[in-house]
Structures are given as C-alpha cells and as structure tokens.
Structure 1
C-alpha cells in the first residue's frame, strides 16, 4: 500500500488529488485514449453532414470497450449515447458559424481510471470535439518508402484508432523531411501495408488491389466502404500481401482516408508512375466538351480524370457516401 501522491503541474503544486479535468493521469501514463477524424460537408443530408458518422462512432465505442475492459458501456455513468455526438457536432457548427463550410471534425476520448493496469468498474471518460474549417487542397501526392513498420495486431488491436500512434507520426515526419507528402509503411515481413495517414489502393489489368488486414493496417472507414462499392459493382478486388514491386507496376494508385477521401498518387520514391498523372491544360480543354454533361467540378477533373478508372472510383464513392442507406 502506498500513500497519497502530491502533484506538480506546469511548475505549480496543484493538490494532493489532481482534478481529473486538468490532469488525466492514466491517459498521460499509458495513452488510454482513442479518436476519430472526419469531414463534415455543407448541404450534406447525412447526419451532421459527416459521411459514415455512425461507422466512426461504432469503431470509437469499440475502442472505449477495449480501453476500459467493460463490454457494456451503459454501465459507465458518463459514457454518452452515440446520438449525442451527432447533436453536439450540429451545436458546435452552429455556434462557430460553420454550417456552410467544409470542416474537419475530430472526436477525442481519454479514459481515466483509478487502478492503472487493473480494470476499474467506474472509469471516467473525458470527451473533446474539435471542429474547424478545412481546405481540401487535393492531390496528387508523392509517397516514399520508410523503414517504419506496422505494429502487430497481437500487441494491440490494429483496427482501432488508439492514441498510441507515434510510429505513424514518425513515419510521416520522415517522409516530409525528404520532400514527400506521406510515407509507405510495410509490415515486419516486408509486405506493403498502408501510409502514415491513409490506406493504399492500386489498379492493374482490371483488378483493384489493397493490402489486407493481415499486414496490421488500420482498415479505414473510407477503405471499407469503397471495397463494398467495388464488389457491388462487380469490380474485381484483391485484398492480400504484396511486395513493393506490385504497386510500382500498377496502372494507377491512390490513397484513402475519411478527411481527404480519395487522393491520387503521383510518385513513389521516384519510381511510379511512368507518366504524369495530372493532365496538362490542353488535354483538359480537349476532353471537356466531349464529356460536358457528365463531368463533376473542375478540381475533380484535375484530380481524377487522368485515368478513367480513377474517375470511376471517385464517382462510385460519391454515390455511396451520400446514400442514407449506409449511414
């Protein structure tokens, strides 16, 4: 048995028992937190303007169950129902006058318990919602290989967005330091996995390829919904283990996440592709008249029309993300 601790916070002794809303001790010590990052669109008819919001909430609540060790979250006094997050997003956007803007939405949860490594039957859940205007500048992007690896799902559930993500951050910083936009991580066996902030796709000879969950990726909401759309349309898809040369020989590649959705890949460590994926102005002009009735906005043409299949990917995703049947 140990005595009561005394705490100093930012050079000031605050109390023998720190206020939990100021110093979430267990969250600081062990990283007992989870988060979700999304986009909210003006005029979007899905809940709070956030595509697949309840997919995100389901995953976040699975993370809370994992972090607390409590299967029935209704037993936790201050764990709110999922619907309350929808209402709070609407309230914040109205308060900040963001109803008519594209926004980044981030849910952050910290778990505070009294027993450290042991399961606490009455943990305290801290919640933070961040919403701000977001400028989606789009792609295409340059990727690079880095030595960082995904962490085995034997050590922690890879499918949850937990606060312990320093390997992603370090991989991203490494890529930025050498002039790339994002990093490609492999698993411990050398197979392609994901990027630091997104899932990886490519298309070759009529088939879509993406690394499987066996490579310890974080399978994103956009990734999963896009795969569903491909299969519904009868587009061949392969989830598996692939070496880098499979990606480098692709016809076209792109990455997906919930914030930027679909972003084409321009190059990978200077190897891929063999051609410029962004059409020049003359090409865009000559194609515009022939497809005027079917074309989306100009920035979409620039990002996706350079390869016919990637344009189709974008259109399929737009259809599914605005469907209330999947919300």
Structure 2
C-alpha cells in the first residue's frame, strides 16, 4: 500500500520516522480513524475538529488544512486504486530532545494510513472485562497513542472479530468497549454511559445521539451498573469503521431484539454517502 508521510506519498515499507519522535518516546500523538465510502470521507470535518482540539491540548502546532487533507485522501485512494477505504490519520509530536520539554511542538509527524475495508461482522458477542478502564490522562479522554489499557483488554478476549470486550470504571460503572462506544435500549429508551465516566466521546457516538434527537427518540446519558444493561431489551456498539453493530449475547445471555438497532442502522446507511459533518443533519 501507499501511505502519506510528511508531504510525500510513498510505499509503506519505505516509511521512516525519527527515533526521537515524542509520539514514539512518550506517547504524544493523536489519531482519527474514519471510513471512505465511494470516495466520500464520512463525517470528515467532525473528526478533524476533534483532532485539532486535542492537538491544542498537547500544544502540538499543526497547519494542514481540511481541504489539503481531503486532497491527500483522494490521492491515496487513486494511488491505491480504492474507492472504499479505512483511513487512519496520525499526528505525533515529532522529533525533539531527550526529556520532557515545556515548549510547543512545532515539527509534528503526519502520517495517513490507508487500507481496504476489512470484512465486517453483522453482530458481536459482548464480554465483560476484568481489566478496569483507565482514567483519562487529562480533563477528558483523547484519541491518543496511549492504548495499553485497550490492548490488555483485547488480550482477555483474544483475536476473534465477533467479540467485543466491555470495560467497567474503577467505581463499577459501565464504560465502553475496547474499540467502541456502548448503547442499550429498554422500553424504547436508549441509554449510554456519560462521557464523565472517562470514555472517549466517539464521533459515531455523537452522530447516533444526533440521529436520536432528530427522530424524537428519547435517550439518557448517565452512570450505570452491569445489572442495567443485562436487564435491557437490546444492545449495540458503535465506531467509525464498524458503524452500528448489535451485541446479540453478553456473557452468554441473549439479546436478540434489534428493533432500535436496525432503525439506527437504516438511518446511518442513508446519511453515510452524504455528510462531511453531522452539522448538516
């Protein structure tokens, strides 16, 4: 595959970064993952808005415009002969001296990875994790290079693509999946953990909440225990690659009613070729 790195499109095996890049040394890096549908980068502006806000938090100066980035994505699609793709846009702090500097980072490393969409599963099994969801490093969770907690959770469930691990907070509240946000439905009301639990405020999570608002469907964000999801009617998880995926079992208990999930899936399919930002909804 061809990828983009710091102004060049090159073969992935030719890519190099500095051993002094603080994204590698100290985890000072951020990324966004999104899907391209027939050349259309779904909710691209929302992903970039979150990325830029997070870069400001880390004092990483980054000057690529949305228009430039969209053009790079189009060039990568053409170079790799793809119309549908998985994109990961990665910005790390860039090379600096050994140690933790206080000044801003002004030479970030920008990498845009691309690959064909992997085979998607239509449903998953939820597994409650023993690994506790770690707390955010700052005021809220960034989509950063700090992925050890997720990897430890993944080790619990293995490589099966049909399983998704579910984290609890140290207080025993439901949090999120290893690579997803968590929702469930009870008596026509949709529930999801509040971002104050320390979860990532996923772009697809935000989009689903907008869909619920637009369609007059009641939802609540809060602090919930295991019993509340186990007493629900249906459960689903969301992320930008797998979209909206039902959990048909959690720890062996079936959740086979997918009325709300299917309604939201239909709405998602309608909008995904249309929107660069959920503000257009």
TM-score (norm 1): 0.74
**Alignment partner of 2:29 out of 12, 29, 33:** 33
Q: More strand per residue: 1 or 2?
A: 2
For 1:179 and 1:106, how far apart are their aligned partners in 2? 19
For 1:231 and 1:220, how far apart are their aligned partners in 2? 17
Instruction: Compute the RMSD of aligned alpha carbons.
Output: 2.2
Partner of 1:311: 262
Where do residues 67-216 of structure 1 align in structure 2 (5 Å cutoff)? 67-68=58-59, 73=61, 79-99=63-83, 102-112=84-94, 113-114=96-97, 116-121=99-104, 123-153=106-136, 155-176=137-158, 181-216=163-198
For 1:177 and 1:307, how far apart are their aligned partners in 2? 25
* Pair 1:321-2:247 in alignment: no
User: What's the secondary structure of 1:223's corresponding residue?
Assistant: helix
Partner of 1:49: 40
Question: Where does structure 1 lack aligned partners over 5 or more consecutive residues?
Answer: 1-19, 43-47, 278-305
Change (3 A) 1:178 1:189: farther
Change (3 A) 1:213 1:80: same
For 1:60 and 1:85, how far apart are their aligned partners in 2? 13
Task: Report the CA distance between 1:180 and its aligned residue.
Answer: 6.5
Partner of 2:249: 267
User: What's the secondary structure of 1:173's corresponding residue?
Assistant: helix
For 2:162 and 2:33, how far apart are their aligned partners in 1? 22
User: What's the secondary structure of 1:182's corresponding residue?
Assistant: strand
Change (3 A) 1:92 1:177: closer
CA contact 1:37–1:105 (8 Å) conserved in 2: yes
Partner of 1:294: none
User: What's the secondary structure of 2:150's corresponding residue?
Assistant: helix
For 1:236 and 1:25, how far apart are their aligned partners in 2? 46
Task: Report the CA distance between 1:117 and its aligned residue.
Answer: 2.2
Change (3 A) 1:179 1:54: closer
Q: Work out which of the two has the higher radius of gyration on C-alpha atoms and give 1 or 2.
A: 1
Change (3 A) 1:123 1:89: same
Task: Report the CA distance between 1:320 and its aligned residue.
Answer: 3.8
How many residue pairs are counted as aligned between the two chains? 262
Where do residues 55-70 of structure 1 align in structure 2 (5 Å cutoff)? 55-68=46-59
Where do residues 218-257 of structure 1 align in structure 2 (5 Å cutoff)? 218-257=200-239
Question: Where does structure 2 lack aligned partners over 5 or more consecutive residues?
Answer: 1-15
Task: Report the CA distance between 1:177 and its aligned residue.
Answer: 6.8
User: What's the secondary structure of 1:124's corresponding residue?
Assistant: coil
Which structure exhibits the higher relative contact order, with contacts defined as CA atoms closer than 8 Å and separated by 6 or more residues?
2
Task: Report the CA distance between 1:82 and its aligned residue.
Answer: 2.4
TM-score (norm 2): 0.86
Partner of 2:10: none
Q: 1:144-173 CA distances to partner (integer Å, 9 max, x unpaired)?
A: 1112222223x3244420001110111012
CA contact 1:202–1:251 (8 Å) conserved in 2: yes
Out of 48-57 and 174-183, give the one that drifted further: 174-183
